[in-house]
Structure formats: C-alpha cells, structure tokens
A and B are shown apart, each in its own frame.
Chain A
Amino acid sequence: MTSTKRKVNKIDALLRACRLMLRMSKARPEARKSEIMYYQMLADYYTRLLNAREAGDFVAAHTVFFPSEIMYAMDIVPMHLETTSWMTALFLGEYADLLAAGAELGLAPEICSPHRGLAGAFATDALPRPDVILWSNMVCDNTAKSGELLMKLTGCPGFFLDHPFQNTEGEMNYLVEELADMVRFLEEQSGRKMDWDRLSQGVARMDRQIELLRQIGKLRQAVPSPFHPQGFLELLTIDYLFAGRPEATEYLETLRQELAEAVSQGKGAVPKERFRLMTLFLPPMYLIGFLERISQEYGAVSVTEPFFCSWGEGRLDPSKPLESVARKSYMLPEMRMYGPLDDRALSEIVDSAKQYKIDGAIYYADIGCRHTCATIKLFKDVLDELDIPVLILDCDVVDPTIASEEEIRDKLERFFELLEDR
C-alpha cells in the first residue's frame, strides 16, 4: 500500500473558495442575508480547521451523521469528512487527483468516490492530519469500513461508533452507551473533559433547529416555492457542520423569516415557477452551479427532498443530553433510508408528493451509492401510482467522468418537455 505524497492543501483552497463566494454574495444586492451568513459560517469553519494546529486545537475527523454536538461541547474542532469531499468537488471542481491517489492505494472503483477520494486525500497530505478519526456505520458500508484505512494512513487513533440498525428500546440504549464510550475516548485522547452543561445547551439549540427546519419545510410547500432550486443543500450543510451551534439557529431563524416574507408576498425563488420537483438523493456536486442555472431557466424548483429535509417526529430533552443525541440520530431525515425500508420511507414519499404538490421527481442515481440506488425501482413504483414521472439520472456525486454537464442537460431538458406536455 504505497502512494506518492503530493502536498496540496485542499482546506486552504476550500477556504479561499468560501471567502470568494462570501465576497460575491455580499456584492449582490439581491443576495439573501441568510446566504451571506451561510458562506461566512463555511469560511469560519474552514478557517478554524486550517488554523487548528497552530492554535493548539484538537481536531476530530468524522464521517457523515456523526454527532458533532458532542465535539463542540468538548471544544474539539470537527472535520466533516464527506462534506469536505463534496465541497472540494463543489467549490474547487477538482477531484481527479484524489481519486487517482485512492486508486493507488488499491481501492476498487466500486467504492463510493467520496471515500476513495478521502483516502487519497490523506495519503497525499491534501487534508491535514487530524488527531483522531471517528466513524460509524451510519448510513452505509462505506462509512462503516472507511475508518480503519484512514487510521492507518494518518497514524491516528480512532473510534468506531456502532449504530444499531433498528429503533427498539434496547438498540437506543446500546447507542447511548456507545456514545458514552466515545466521549470517554475523546476525553482520553484530547485531555479535555466533556462539558455536560454545554452539551445540554447544544441539545436545546438543536431541538430549536429541528423545529425551525420543520417550519422551513412547511414554508416550502407554498406555491410558488420561496427557496432557491438547490437550496436544500444549504440546509444539509448546516446540520452536518453546525448542529447545535448558535450561528446555525441564527441562520435558520433568518432564513425562515426571509421565506415567510416571500410567501406572504407570493414571491417565488425563480421568475416563473413551472415545475415543482422532488429530489431523491444527492445531485453531482461539480454541477451544482449548472443545476441552479438550468432550474432558473426552466422554472424548475426542488421543493421537497424526503430523505434530506423531512425530520422525524419527537423532541430533544436537554436534561438528557446523550439520550437526546441518540434520539436525534433516529429523527434524521436520512434515517428513513436506514433500518428496514418500510412505511417510514415509502409513506414519506407519498405524503411529500401530495403536500408539496410535485410535478415530477429527479432521482440522482449515484453509481457509488448502493443503498440508495437499490431503491430506484421501489420509489419509482410508489410515484407511478401517484402518476408522477421520475427522471433517473446516472451520475456520481463528485466524479465528473461518470456524467457530463451536456448529458445531464439533455436529459433534464427532455424531462422538462415531458412535464410541460402533461
């Protein structure tokens, strides 16, 4: 297992891209205040990460859906691995070098590209070495299996959080104990004690944030929809990177206010809303700019994303912080896809289709994502029963060699024509 070391610091490049986006947003008079806040938060996130070593901070690299509330409560700097992967493709438009480095390690092309790229990034020092690696089986085999290789590549100790598959009381207790073990691990490694009051405060804010996210979801049911066509990606990033943070509450309060005003004024996010869409899974990050443009051009808006934005029922209890962190993991929209694929997933598609009055659905069939693609037929059958057309776009979330902008444009245009004909 060898790899040529090439020092290209992606965090530095990401930070510069975030600052550029921030400057551009500030320069646009029509930019949302929440949009400016969003880029400021991203810039702050990567600034802290970039400066962590010099500042003597302790950095924990972690996989997706890991409870970052715990890290914030311990004053540990989190490095969200998959989001950093996606951001690299989204802002920098470059990923080939990381995938090539992953291939050099012997990782098969069938392994999902963000994880191959992450291994490649650490092997080539394109990402700074963290102090610990944290990973879990939320939500697929790739997340479950990536940690040990990353530990070896970085020489870091690690902790695997075993997230049970189903949601029985016994499994919830198991998860709470796993989380307690993780806290002990972080205390030992970082020399910092868990600040339980701070975690409780984070949980209280998270509870508020979930409520705000639900309210934002309701506002997006309006016709025309007030949120921009790919806006849900902002909501995802907020939870992935800033769960329980005060700035996340502030961002969501601001966004909710903006959307409420737009709804009261009957103002849509695109000049003329023609197609209301359901988005199933992640679009290619390297094409987000293009997708935003073509959506504006055709008046097509993603109004609902059942597996990213529909939070499960329930409240968090700040007096039981660890239990609440565990409970939150079962309330996550993505959890509808974890566990047995039953009514939680299927009825959400039906309910969302009706509540959001959708005209069509776009299924981003990420070639590296097995657990989502296996649902294409099932979800399409459910939507067929509602007479809702589904476009299945073969793509990869970060690898542009799987589907080009031209191919995607061609398929989207034909789909919009079909919707128009109906």
Chain B
Amino acid sequence: MTTPTSRAENAKLHVLDRFRKVNQTFPKTDEILGYESQGKKVFGWVCTYAPEEIIHAAGALPIRIVGYSHETDLEDGTAYLYVNNCSFSRSCLQLGLRGEYEFLDGVVGGSTCDGARRLFDLWRNYIGTPFHHVLTVPRKYTERAHNLYHDQVRQFHRHLEEFLDIQITDEALRHSIEVYNESRRLLKALYDLRKLSAPPITGAETMEVLNASFRMPKELFNDYLRELMDGLSTSGNSYEGRARLMITGSHLTNPEFIKSIEDTGGLVVTDELCTSTRYWSDPVVLDGDQTPLQAISKRYLNNFPCARMFPSDERFDRILNLARDFRVEGVISQIIKYCVPYAHDRPLLTEKLQAQGIPTLSLDVEHGTSGSGQIQTRVQAFLEMLESRQR
C-alpha cells in the first residue's frame, strides 16, 4: 500500500474531516441548506462548460450536480434514461427523481455529450426545477467558435438576470472571477505538492478536497483549503508508492476508488478528470479591454478540454504534459461504460502514451464504483508490470 515515509503514522489533518463531512452529506449539506434558509438561490450545473462565476455574481450558490459517490442500484435512473446511458447521468437523474436536489432553483447545462444533454432533457421533463438553461458549446477552439460561445454566455447571463429580476454587474463578475481564481490558485498549489517525490497528501485525500470544491460556497472552500495548505506545510507528512500513477477519464467522485489503488501500493499523483484538473486548472484571465463575460467565455471554451472537443490532440498534449510534470510511470484510464467520447479517444491516447514509454491500464467502470475486487486485482498486476520495468 501507499506508505508514509517519514514516520510510522502521518499526522491527521482535521480540516480534511470538514471536507469529508460536506461530501458525506451532499446534496443536502448544512452549507447548502443554510444558504437557502437565508432566502438565497441555489443553482445546479452539469458539466465543466457551465460558467459558475455568472451564477455566483448573481448572488446565488452554484453547486455541481453529481450522482452517488458510491456503488448503488440505479433503478429509477435506468428506468428513465435506459441502461445504455452512462451511469453518471443515470445516477444524477436518480438523485433528482428522489428529491435529493429539491432545493435547486435552477439547472444549467451545456450541449456537451449525449449523456449530459439527455440528462438535462429528462430533468426538465420530470423534475420540477423552476429555471433551466442549456448553452450550445462549440466543439472547436476557433475565433468563430469563441464568438458563438461568448454569445451563448451572454444569453445565459441575460436569462439569469430576467429570472432573478436583478442586474448582474461587471463589478460583481470581477469579484466572482477573483474568488474562483483564488480557488484555482490554491488547488494548483495543492497539486504542485503532489509533484514531490514523496507528496504530503494522497490521491484519495485530494479527491475529498476536489469533491467539496464544487459542493459548497467557494469562499468557505477557499478558507478550508488555505487551512489545509498550512497544515500540509507543517505536518511533515509524506507518502511513497510502488509507482507514480495518473488517472484519466470523465467523472470520478468516489475517493474509495483511488484509495483501493493506493492500498495496492500505487501512488496517485495527478489526474485528468471532469472532477479534477479539467474543473479547476485554468484561471479566468482579465486583460486589456475585455469584458468579464468575454474573459469568462474564453476561459471556459479554452479550458483543459473534454474528449468532446476537436482536435483531440489539445487534450492529449495536456495529458502528456501532466505525465511529464508529475513524473508519471503509469496511467489508469477509467472510463464509465457508455461514455462514448472517452471510449473513442482511448486507442489514440493509449498509443500516444505508449510512444512516451508510459503504459496504460484500461478499466471500464460504473460511476461510483469503489475499485474493489476485480479492479484491485488488475491494478495489482499493472503495478507488478510497472515494477518489472523499473528493475
């Protein structure tokens, strides 16, 4: 298993328990319900192309709609979305159908993938959330695509203003950009610590932090994260493993999945997921005479790309850079069954990683899987193969 190096037991960081509590009680967390009890609005968003800063600048709380972070039957989700839609979408829908997101005042999505857009369609038809907005998200990075997306972002901004009967000012947007960029800076600093030969935090612990990042007010999250960074700098904690690993794929929110890999001895040092680097990695850059909305739309379309974007090399190059920066020895490509964009990319990405001497373990999983049993066996075999290469 991943082992502490400096002492028999690494110091316990209590702030991590606060992140865990948020995650364990989500969606109906004290933070969200407390926010709502003050008469403030809460909006759920699906997919990393939904610009959170605009919701935040409207004085509302943006939270990410996610499914169960553990294995469970998806009876309702499957009945409505059918078994060939990814278990992430079915899991989200099931939580919605069971009233777990009943506090939401609105839902915001994008035309990102078939699973997400159909989730949005069924949500609108069967779950009585008052506000719905879907953004057309181009699949290219051209100037034309940026103009189209900027137009979409402006439409969303206007729609939200109309719904809330308020004006979302540039000043409020600038403040929200600052809050969100601070969060991104802190998460980058956390990830930089994972570049160390013996990082002070495990991959599973990092996932607790990431999960909380989109489930609570950003200002509070930033406070917690600053506290964690302080704690890490003085804790002297350090971890080593049999091999330095990166996890790639779409959604992953179950820390137990990563823990099971780390229990086998792998050290997860970085990841390329909708719920990790793809969520936080790029800041909104306000420069020149750009309006805040222009800066926001530019950031969201140019951000660490999803497999939906064209050309795929943009994504592949970023993954190769991560692998180099974090000195990754092996990649675990976990793809949720029926996640077509990532499944299509897999042969091409595997080949590119192979060309860099980085082997890939491909795992087809269901959303929320804990990574026990067969998965652990396969990770074990993968680590043995990586070790044999080191000798």
Contact = CB atoms under 8 A, between A and B. Distances in A.
A184 to B, nearest CB: 13
A141 B338 CA distance: 11
Contact of B344 (A111, A178, A341, A368): A111
Contact of A170 (B79, B81, B151, B351): B151
A301 to B, nearest CB: 27
B125 interface: yes
A395 to B, nearest CB: 12
B364 to A, nearest CB: 6
B121 A373 contact: no
Contacts of B120: 340
Given A370-B114, A376-B82, A174 B340 contact: no
A377 to B, nearest CB: 5
A319 interface: no
A106 interface: yes
A174 B148 contact: yes
Contacts of B166: none
B84 A160 contact: no
B118 A370 contact: yes
Contacts of B117: 165, 340, 371
Contact of A373 (B82, B124, B145): B82
A142 B364 CA distance: 18
B136 A171 contact: yes
Interface stretch (A47-55, A143-151, A205-213, A354-362): A143-151
A33 B124 CA distance: 47
B269 interface: no
A148 B347 contact: no
A311 to B, nearest CB: 22
Contacts of A144: 139, 308, 310, 341
B145 A149 contact: no
Interface in A322-345: 340-341
B139 A160 contact: yes
Interface size class of A (residues with CB under 8 A): 35 or more
B235 interface: no
A145 B340 contact: yes
A148 B312 contact: yes
Contacts of A375: 118, 121
B345 interface: yes
B350 A106 contact: yes
B251 to A, nearest CB: 15
Contacts of A165: 111, 117, 134, 136-137
A340 B133 CA distance: 10
Contacts of B341: 141, 144-145
Contacts of B86: 370
A145 B81 contact: no
Contacts of B144: 174, 177-178
Contacts of A294: none
Interface string B289-308: 00000000000000000011
A110 interface: yes
B125 A378 contact: yes
A374 B118 contact: yes
Interface string B77-98: 0011110111001000000000
Contact of B85 (A160, A174, A178, A374): A374
B139 A110 contact: no
Interface in A111-158: 111-112, 137, 140-142, 144-146, 148-149, 152
Nearest to A373: B82
Contact of B122 (A111, A149, A369, A374): A374
A164 interface: yes
Nearest to A166: B136
Contacts of B335: 108
A393 interface: no
B344 A365 contact: no
Contacts of A373: 82, 84-85
A27 interface: no
Contacts of A367: 84
B118 A149 contact: no
A92 interface: no
A162 B138 contact: yes
A141 B84 contact: no
Given A370-B84, A378-B122, A110 B138 contact: no
Contacts of A174: 138, 144-145, 148
A164 B121 contact: no
B164 interface: no
A140 B337 CA distance: 16
Contacts of A377: 79-82, 122
A390 B283 CA distance: 50
Contacts of A105: 347
A274 B312 CA distance: 52
B211 to A, nearest CB: 26
Contacts of A142: 340, 344
A370 B115 contact: yes
B151 A1 contact: no
Interface in B310-326: 310-312
Nearest to B344: A145
A376 B125 CA distance: 13
A148 B347 CA distance: 11
Interface centre among A168, A177, A369, A373 (most CB of B within 10 A): A373
Given A1-B351, A148-B312, A374-B85, A162 B139 contact: yes
Nearest to B113: A141
B176 to A, nearest CB: 25
A376 B83 CA distance: 11
A41 B144 CA distance: 39
A149 B339 CA distance: 17
Contacts of A141: 113-114, 308, 340-341, 344
A107 interface: yes
A107 B138 contact: no
A191 B185 CA distance: 50
Interface centre among B89, B136, B145, B340 (most CB of A within 10 A): B340
Interface centre among A160, A166, A171, A371 (most CB of B within 10 A): A371
Interface string B251-270: 00000000000000000000
B347 A164 contact: no
B286 interface: no
Cβ-closest 5 pairs across A and B:
A165-B111, A145-B344, A374-B118, A106-B347, A341-B121
Interface of B: 79-82, 84-86, 89, 111, 113-115, 117-118, 120-122, 124-125, 134, 136-140, 144-145, 148, 151, 155, 307-308, 310-312, 335, 337-341, 343-348, 350-351, 362, 364
28 contacts: A1-B348, A105-B347, A106-B346, A106-B347, A107-B344, A108-B337, A110-B84, A110-B338, A110-B364, A140-B114, A142-B340, A142-B344, A144-B308, A148-B310, A148-B348, A149-B344, A170-B151, A171-B136, A174-B148, A340-B121, A367-B84, A369-B84, A370-B84, A370-B85, A374-B121, A375-B118, A376-B82, A377-B82
Given A160-B139, A370-B86, 16 more contacts: A1-B347, A106-B350, A107-B347, A140-B114, A141-B114, A141-B308, A141-B340, A142-B344, A145-B308, A146-B344, A165-B117, A370-B85, A370-B114, A371-B114, A373-B82, A374-B121
